[in-house]
Amino acid sequence: MEVVEDQVPVIAPEADQPSLREAVLRYSREVAFAAADVYARAAESRGSWDTRLEALIVDAILRGENTDALRSRIAALGWKAQERFTVMVGNSPSEPSASYVSELRRMAGRYAEDALVGIQGDRLILILGGVQDRETAYIKLSDMFAPGPVVYGPEAGSLLEASGSAQSAFAGLTAAKAWPSAPRPVAADDLLPERVISGDDAARRSLVKNIYRPLLAASNGLVETLGTYLELGHSLEATARELFVHANTVRYRLKRVCDVTGWDPLLPREAFVLQAALVVGRLSAPPKAATERQPSRTQP
């Protein structure tokens, strides 16, 4: 169009030049609008395809699929993160718009290398990969969820393993109402007692594996001291009298409990987690086989 416009004085007399320039301008405008329409339709089709592909990937991760199809879909979506994966779940807005999802994805991009957004009914699922500052990221992103609890699962080693993080997060979201004063967001592992009570078998196994069995392996009376301390109303003196030891011995053993498990029995909330671990641990411990004494035969 620029070439034709430059050659107008050569190809048309002076009287016809204004009308020729106007015709060239009108034609170039029509070409521009037609090209823009083609690009817009292509972008809309590509965006719809990406949205459907993203929804399929989120659903496959939540169901725990580990197939070649899932890997190819993840690669097609351009996922780059290779570590530090986690899943956040919470309530979605009543009528989430495309602009809301785009803003959520842009904010997630500030704190993570990659992000997948899924909306299933009234639940909003956010899958993050390559999160740097987790504490800040979770707090900022939780503001994008609708009112209500927001739960994030434990960190996974790969995107294909993120289904475990998602299952923990959903179990925590179901049990979060049992802890009204829970922080927002809250870790799924901080809701282990509530998850056990609501019937989450993964939480029960986690308490046994990460708390009860390490305490048993540490020996030195840690399980007995912790159980007595919790049963006697968190009283160091009463525990010492019951166990016939000095109060400083009780303090030392409770500190050892914190070192072994990462949970401090002197804090009420963490003591509740430890008490739940003792309960499920004792229930899951295999019963000791009773040795039956064979009756001795007497010679007649």
The enclosing domain of 277 has a CATH number of 1.10.10.2840
Question: At residue 196, what is the residue type?
Answer: V
Q: What is the pLDDT of residue 42?
A: 58
- CATH number assigned to the domain comprising residue 144: 3.30.70.2730
Average pLDDT over residues 22-26: 83
What percent of the chain stands above pLDDT 90? 46
Any domain includes 28: yes
Does 52 score more than 80 pLDDT? no
Same structural domain for residues 40 and 130?
no
pLDDT-based confidence at residue 26 (cuts at 50, 70, 90): confident
Does 297 score more than 60 pLDDT? no
Same structural domain for residues 44 and 85?
no
Q: 3-state secondary structure string, 242-265?
A: HHCCCHHHHHHHHHHHHHHHCCCC
Average pLDDT over residues 66-78: 69
Q: Which residue has the higher pLDDT, 98 or 237?
A: 237
Any domain includes 297: no
Does 121 score more than 50 pLDDT? yes
| Domain stop point among 41, 56, 71 | 56
Same structural domain for residues 109 and 137?
yes
Contact, 274 vs 257, CB < 8 A?
yes
Any domain includes 68: no
Contact, 207 vs 192, CB < 8 A?
yes
Q: Which residue has the higher pLDDT, 219 or 236?
A: 236
Contact, 203 vs 171, CB < 8 A?
yes
Same structural domain for residues 20 and 48?
yes
Q: What is the pLDDT of residue 259?
A: 95
Any domain includes 290: no
Omega before 185 within 30 of 0, i.e. cis: yes
Any domain includes 64: no
pLDDT-based confidence at residue 179 (cuts at 50, 70, 90): very high
State the sign of the Cα–Cα–Cα–Cα dihedral 82, 50, 75, 122. Answer: positive
Contact, 257 vs 217, CB < 8 A?
no
Domains: count for the chain: 3
Does 280 score more than 80 pLDDT? yes
- Cα Rg of the chain (Å, integer): 32
Does 92 score more than 80 pLDDT? yes
Q: What is the pLDDT of residue 294?
A: 47
Does 163 score more than 50 pLDDT? yes
Same structural domain for residues 39 and 115?
no
CA dist., res. 131 & res. 114, Å (int): 8
**Which of 137, 173, 169 has the alpha carbon at shortest distance from 154?**
169
Q: What is the pLDDT of residue 278?
A: 95
Same structural domain for residues 168 and 109?
yes
pLDDT-based confidence at residue 153 (cuts at 50, 70, 90): very high
Any domain includes 146: yes
pLDDT-based confidence at residue 51 (cuts at 50, 70, 90): low
Residue 248's domain spans which residues?
Answer: 201-284
CA dist., res. 66 & res. 58, Å (int): 12
Q: Where are the alpha helices (DSSP H) in the chain?
A: 2-6, 8-11, 17-62, 68-76, 98-111, 134-142, 162-175, 192-197, 201-207, 213-218, 222-231, 236-243, 247-261, 268-284
